[in-house]
Amino acid sequence: MLDIIDRYIAKMFLGFFFGSMVVLVTLFVVIDAFSNFSDEKVTLGTVIMYYVFSSPGVITQMFPAACLIATMFTLSTLNKNNELVALFSIGNSLARISAPILALVASMTIVVFWAGDRLIPSFNKKKNYIWFVEVKNRPHMYSSVKNSKIWYRQNNVLFNIKYMNPDEKRANDISFYYFDDQWNLVQTIKAQYAVMGDTDWILKNGTVTLFTEDSSFPLTQTFEEKLVQVDNSLTEIQAESKKFSEMVSVKELRNFINKNKEAGLNTLRYEVDFHAKFGFAFASFIMSFIGIPFSVVSNRSSGRMGSVVICLFLAFGYWALYSSGLTMGRYGYLPPIVSAWLPNIFMMGLTGFFLLRLKK
């Protein structure tokens, strides 16, 4: 008997889930396309391929919201049809009725997290290739958008940055190679680090080496501080470098953190992003859990609408708390693991409180 009921509830949940996922992904793609491509002269094929490679990331982003909507609609429909009353009358609790939903969400979360960790980094790289090469016609940006071992060309100057921290506006172990029109090396500048402005960078603790035809040996001079000018493209690289964690898997991000810790570099942002990958994956379960107590309050339409409003309010509250937690972690006010998981724990506790008050 319970197996039949579980399958019935699971089938209903999956119908609502896939329906809401299609709607959410479609809305996201339409809005994003108007925002990104309204002023760009690109072919329809380019736009389609861009969103094909964007799809794993979009689905992952929409997954928690789809779980919330599906949970609310499933339980609200059971409540509206008085099926919940019948299930309660034969001794089923709300927890038991919700079990197939939560089990499905937990199973799908594991699959989505595993698939996303394998697909999203490689798909994002292909998406960025289309964006910078085919849409923006700036292939140098595609090869430069990362946080370590950055090579970039500006006219007759080559930049090499060992490690960039966009939050602190700092580039470590930086080298500039200047060439003449015949591409003969005429000057190099190397610095321990640079404080990055929009177009002015202040280099700290470095050397300037000149290569001239008048001297058989290069001329080298040290400096404590030196100002150099760069173009606006490097400002874009700083902004895009903040997306570095989206371009790598959990394993690659962990190795990146360990490697840079050994080098004495600040990895706080990336430690927060590492724990956030797991915290965000758990958000789907949180969203479904939030939807349970507010979907069964009343079978009247006004009561259901009120429940939906309250549930959506809590969902927005969760996202605000989650985003605030990550921000506080990146600025060092909370430990990385706490900043990623405290919002989940808080919302689980709050939803558990409402469930206990239902006494169902």
Predicted pLDDT of residue 141: 57
Instruction: Supply the pLDDT for residue 270.
Output: 83
- Residue 21's pLDDT is 92
10: exposed, middle or buried (Cβ count in 10 Å: 0-12, 13-18, 19+): middle
**146-161, pLDDT tens digit by residue?**
555 677 777 778 877 7
- Asked if residue 133 and residue 268 are part of one domain, the reply reads yes
For residue 188, give the 3-state DSSP assignment: strand
Pair 108, 41 in one domain? yes
Residue 256 lies in a domain: no
Residue 283 burial (10 A CB sphere; 0-12, 13-18, 19+): buried
Residue 97: the pLDDT is: 87
The answer to whether 66 and 24 are in contact (CB under 8 A) is: yes
Q: What share of the chain is helix, strand, coil (3-state, %, to 5)?
A: 65, 15, 20
Note whether 290 and 344 are within 8 A (CB): no
Same domain flag for 167 and 289: no
- 3-state SS, 231-297, equals CCHHHHHHHHHCCHHHHCCHHHHHHHHHHHHHCCCCCHHHHHHHHHHHHHHHHHHHHHHHHCCCCCC
Considering the domain architecture, whether residues 131 and 17 belong to the same structural domain is answered as: yes
List the domain range (segments joined by +) for residue 20. Answer: 2-137+264-358
Residue 77 lies inside a defined structural domain of this protein: yes
Predicted pLDDT at 318: 81
Q: Which tokens go with 128?
A: 């960025």
Measured CA to CA, the distance from residue 41 to residue 44 in angstroms comes to: 10
Regions in the chain scoring below 50 on pLDDT:
144
User: Quick check: pTM over 0.75?
Assistant: no
